[in-house]
């Protein structure tokens, strides 16, 4: 597949992933000069017209969504029996990889990711699209930290052990809802259950249900009680614990009913971790009815999950409820053709025939035995009321004996526990302090009560209250000398956060480690307090520009260099040359040269002359005048100026003159810029300075 060009523009570069039904490749769009991701349906499914059509249709539907938290679909096509979808290429990691790396995420991070995923689901649900496979592997986090949901409406898994895919069940077993496990009706609340599982895994580092097979995991989603995430991670607030528990209610009616609802609660918790979030809907009388097929476990067939829908079970009146019923309409023909032995197993499990009643427009199944039990309860209740005798009070009003004995529960939320105890006991009820917890309310204030205020209670009934311990205090750990990552982990582990990070130069603290913290170590602070830190940038490197020191005295040069925090190294040149007499003590050369930018503390070497009077020879007796030697020829040494050392030597040798050098080393790149004398006689010696 690598190397082919799809749609005359998408050149496949490399394979970057594989799902249960497709491969994902990185490709280069030769038209727009950018990388894209191309999902290609596996050849195994090419002959399945239903899957191919679903692959194209749902990809086209997702392409119409415009949301920053959804991976964009760019193109859909078919070429030589290759069915492909072109998506934006996301640089980053999926959420599963991040959880594996970090073990578990801070609850603040989980809330932020949850908000972005819920935002994506809200957009999809408003466009009548249900994801059905929300899991960390399908949640991408870019290098910039942007959260994007991928694989909308397309069945996909990483391997056979995590995918349950039958005629009526589609999704990843660790993350799908009880209704998906049953293979029955799904709606937007299915995605919200899966989001609850993802939130659970983010804050605990593990999935809520595990097992040896997809079927075993599915049964746990249906039957097993959920362990509260706070039992596995005590650092998460009760509000987030309750939100996750509510999102993962086994009954759809008890869950969040829309992505907007879960977004609202997540934002409340983000603003105030101590916000009161109910773990489930307590008043079920206002809930909508839903379609639920019975789940039957056949012990003879490895705990196979069965259902028994038939076309007769679905009312024509429900066609008006298209949003919730679209999945059922698509699947009801499959349920209609279930094998006879499966129906026989279902029937053998029933004690009484099943009837269907309708409330509004959505059907619900109720057994006859349940109906008779409800009627019996109603009859007994009516009899109890009728048996109550009526008495007339002094004003002529009628009231029952039973009503005289009931007490309206007073509201003590927000009051001190002493005041609450007095109020409750004065009302004839019993005050019970059920538990205490940290909160943003002062210590001793009532946070919650059960039963709720204004309900009726009998005398001596218990009123259970939750009392505030005040805001949790945490002793700040010392994070001096740590790197930022280690400091953040240390703070998070005790319920604190890393605050502002400032940088300063330090000659004593290693670069990229913390110099100081505010508040300091061993100080009691509130939970989630941000600890500001100052981080070392290492020693400060200050540079200076070397000045021109030529012609200056040593003192002048020293003053200039001291101001620039540069050192000075002196090299003396002693001379008796009368021409240098007037520059004695003056600098004639420096290294490095002027204009160079160097680090403060660098030494600058200066070269200067010291003039020394030539020694006088003692007077001698006059000697006989020697015979005059032939007059030697003299030469003008100015001819040497600008010559290289080799050229200068050649010039001197041709005239019988000895030559010596001073200053820089004599190499072929240096040239004569100064000669010790203007004229020299044949056989004489001259000194040249090269530069």
Higher per-residue pLDDT: 65 or 178? 178
Quote the pLDDT of residue 127: 87
Q: Which of 560, 546, 557, 543 is nearest to 594 (CA)?
A: 546
Domains and CATH numbers, the chain: 5-88 (3.30.200.20), 97-283 (1.10.510.10), 399-468 (3.30.10.20), 473-536 (3.30.10.20), 632-691 (3.30.10.20)
Band of residue 613 on the pLDDT scale cut at 50, 70, 90? confident
Sorting pLDDT into bands at 50, 70 and 90, what band is 357? very low
Q: Give per-residue pLDDT as tens, 146-164.
A: 999 998 744 333 233 333 3
Q: What is the mean pLDDT of residues 71-97?
A: 92
> pLDDT value at position 280?
52
Which entry of 143, 625, 629, 631 is annotated as an active-site residue?
143
d(CA 467, CA 448): 8
Give residue 527's pLDDT band: very low, low, confident or very high (50, 70, 90). confident
pLDDT at residue 279 in the model:
63
Take residue 461 and report the two structure tokens written for it. 């009934």
For the chain, give the percent of residues with pLDDT over 90: 44
Q: How far is CA 576 from the centre of its chain?
A: 78
* Distance from C-alpha of 153 to C-alpha of 61, rounded to nearest angstrom: 9
CA distance 447 to 470: 11
CA–CA–CA angle 242, 244, 248 (5° rounding): 115
328 band by pLDDT with thresholds 50, 70 and 90: very low
156-165, 258-267, 460-469, 605-614: which range is least confident on average?
Answer: 156-165
| pLDDT band per the 50, 70, 90 thresholds, residue 667 | low
Q: Residues within the annotated binding site?
A: 39
pLDDT band (50, 70, 90) for residue 664: low
DSSP annotation of 676 reads S
- Tens of pLDDT, residue by residue over 373-431, are 433 333 333 333 333 333 233 333 333 344 458 999 999 999 999 999 999 999 999 99
State the residue for tokens 């595990």.
210
State yes or no: pLDDT of 295 exceeds 50: no
Determine the pLDDT at residue 493. Answer: 86
Q: Where are the alpha helices (DSSP H) in 183-320?
A: 188-204, 214-223, 229-232, 238-247, 259-271
Q: What percent of the chain has pLDDT over 70?
A: 76
Q: Which residue in 91, 69, 108, 205 sits closest to 142, CA to CA?
A: 91
Mean pLDDT, the chain, rounded, equals: 78
Which residue did the predictor score with more confidence, 126 or 57? 126
Exposure string over 128-142, b if 16+ CB within 10 A, otherwise e? ebbbbbbbbbbbbbe
Whole-number Å distance between alpha carbons of 610 and 554: 11
Structure confidence at residue 495 (pLDDT) = 87
Least confident residue range of 166-170, 290-294, 556-560: 290-294
The string of pLDDT tens digits covering residues 230-265 is: 999 999 999 999 999 999 999 988 999 999 999 999
Residue positions counted in the chain: 691
Specify the pLDDT at position 241.
Answer: 95
Range with the poorest average pLDDT among 90-94, 456-460, 676-680 = 676-680
pLDDT at residue 292 tops 50: no
Cis peptide before 451 (omega within 30 of 0): yes
Q: What is the pTM of this model?
A: 0.44
Mean pLDDT of 270-291: 56
* Residue 204 clears pLDDT 80, i.e. is over it: yes
Left if phi > 0, otherwise alpha if psi is -120 to 50, otherwise beta: which for 419? Answer: alpha
Q: What is the pLDDT of residue 194?
A: 97
Taking residues 674-682, what's their average pLDDT? 86
pLDDT bracket for residue 611 (50, 70, 90): confident
316 is catalytic: no
Whole-Å CA distances, 121 to 57, 130, 281: 19, 8, 21
pLDDT on residue 689:
86
> Which residue ranges are tagged as binding site for ATP?
39
Alpha helices for 397-541 (secondary structure H): 401-405, 417-426, 484-493
CB neighbourhood size of 458 (10 A):
11
The C-alpha R_g of the chain, in whole angstroms, comes to 45
Per-residue pLDDT at 682 exceeds 60: yes
What's the pLDDT tens digit per position in 469-501? 888 788 899 999 999 999 999 998 888 999 999
């Amino acid at each position: 597949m690598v190397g082919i060009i799809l749609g005359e523009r998408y050149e496949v570069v490399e394979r970057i992933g594989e799902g249960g039904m497709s491969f994902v490749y990185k490709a280069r769009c030769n038209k727009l000069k950018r990388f894209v991701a191309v999902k290609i349906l596996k050849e195994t499914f090419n002959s399945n017209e239903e899957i191919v059509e679903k692959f194209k249709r749902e990809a086209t539907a997702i392409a119409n969504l415009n949301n920053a938290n959804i991976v964009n679909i760019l193109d859909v096509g078919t070429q030589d029996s290759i069915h492909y979808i072109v998506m934006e290429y996301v640089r980053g990691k999926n959420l599963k990889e991040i959880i594996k790396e970090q073990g578990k995420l801070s609850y603040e991070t989980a809330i932020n990711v949850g908000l972005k995923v819920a935002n994506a689901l809200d957009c999809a649900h408003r466009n009548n699209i249900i994801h059905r496979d929300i899991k960390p592997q399908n949640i991408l986090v870019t290098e910039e930290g942007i959260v994007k949901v991928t694989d909308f409406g397309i069945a996909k898994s990483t391997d056979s052990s995590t995918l349950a895919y039958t005629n009526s069940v589609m999704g990843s077993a660790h993350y799908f809802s009880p209704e998906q496990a049953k293979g029955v009706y799904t709606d937007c609340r299915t995605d919200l259950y899966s989001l609850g599982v993802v939130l659970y895994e983010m804050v605990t580092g593990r999935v809520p249900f595990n097992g040896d097979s997809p079927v075993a995991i599915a049964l746990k989603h249906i039957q097993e009680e959920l362990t509260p995430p706070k039992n596995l991670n005590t650092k998460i607030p009760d509000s987030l614990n309750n939100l996750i528990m509510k999102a993962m209610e086994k009954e759809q009616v008890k869950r969040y009913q829309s992505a907007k609802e879960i977004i609202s609660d997540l934002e409340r918790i983000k603003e105030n971790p101590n916000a009161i979030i109910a773990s489930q809907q307590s008043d079920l009388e206002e809930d909508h009815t839903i379609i639920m097929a019975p789940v039957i476990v056949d012990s003879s067939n490895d705990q196979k999950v069965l259902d028994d829908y038939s076309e007769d079970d679905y009312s024509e009146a429900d066609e008006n409820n298209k949003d919730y019923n679209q999945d059922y309409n698509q699947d009801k023909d499959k349920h209609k053709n279930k094998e006879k032995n499966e129906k026989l197993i279902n029937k053998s499990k029933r004690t009484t025939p099943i009837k269907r009643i309708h409330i509004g427009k959505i059907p619900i199944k109720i057994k006859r035995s349940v109906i008779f039990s409800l009627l019996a309860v109603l009859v007994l209740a009516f009899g109890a009321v009728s048996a109550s005798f009526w008495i007339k009070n002094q004003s002529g009003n009628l009231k029952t004996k039973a009503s005289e004995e009931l007490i309206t529960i007073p509201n003590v939320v927000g009051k001190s526990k002493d005041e609450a105890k007095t109020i409750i006991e004065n009302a004839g009820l019993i005050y019970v302090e059920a538990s205490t917890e940290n909160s943003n309310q002062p210590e001793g204030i009532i946070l919650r009560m059960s039963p709720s205020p204004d309900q009726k209670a009998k005398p001596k009934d218990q009123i259970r209250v939750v009392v505030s311990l005040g805001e949790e205090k945490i002793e700040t750990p010392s994070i001096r000398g740590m790197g930022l990552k280690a400091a953040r982990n240390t703070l998070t582990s005790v319920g604190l956060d890393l605050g502002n990070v400032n940088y300063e130069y330090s000659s004593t603290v290693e670069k990229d480690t913390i110099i100081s913290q505010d508040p300091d170590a061993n100080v009691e602070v509130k939970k989630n307090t941000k600890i500001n830190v100052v981080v070392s940038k290492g020693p400060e490197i200050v540079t200076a520009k070397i000045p021109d020191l030529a012609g200056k005295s040593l003192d002048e040069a020293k003053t200039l260099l001291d101001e620039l925090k540069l050192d000075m190294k002196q090299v003396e040149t002693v001379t008796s040359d009368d021409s240098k007499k007037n520059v004695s003590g003056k600098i004639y050369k420096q290294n490095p040269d002027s204009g160079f930018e160097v680090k403060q503390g660098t030494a600058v070497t200066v070269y200067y002359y010291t003039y020394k009077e030539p020694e006088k020879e003692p007077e001698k007796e006059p000697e006989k005048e020697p015979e005059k030697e032939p007059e030697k020829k003299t030469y003008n040494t100015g001819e040497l100026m600008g010559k290289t050392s080799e050229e200068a030597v050649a010039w001197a040798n041709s005239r019988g003159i000895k030559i010596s050098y001073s200053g820089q080393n004599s190499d072929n790149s240096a040239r004569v810029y100064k000669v010790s004398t203007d004229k020299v006689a044949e056989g004489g010696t001259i000194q040249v300075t090269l530069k």
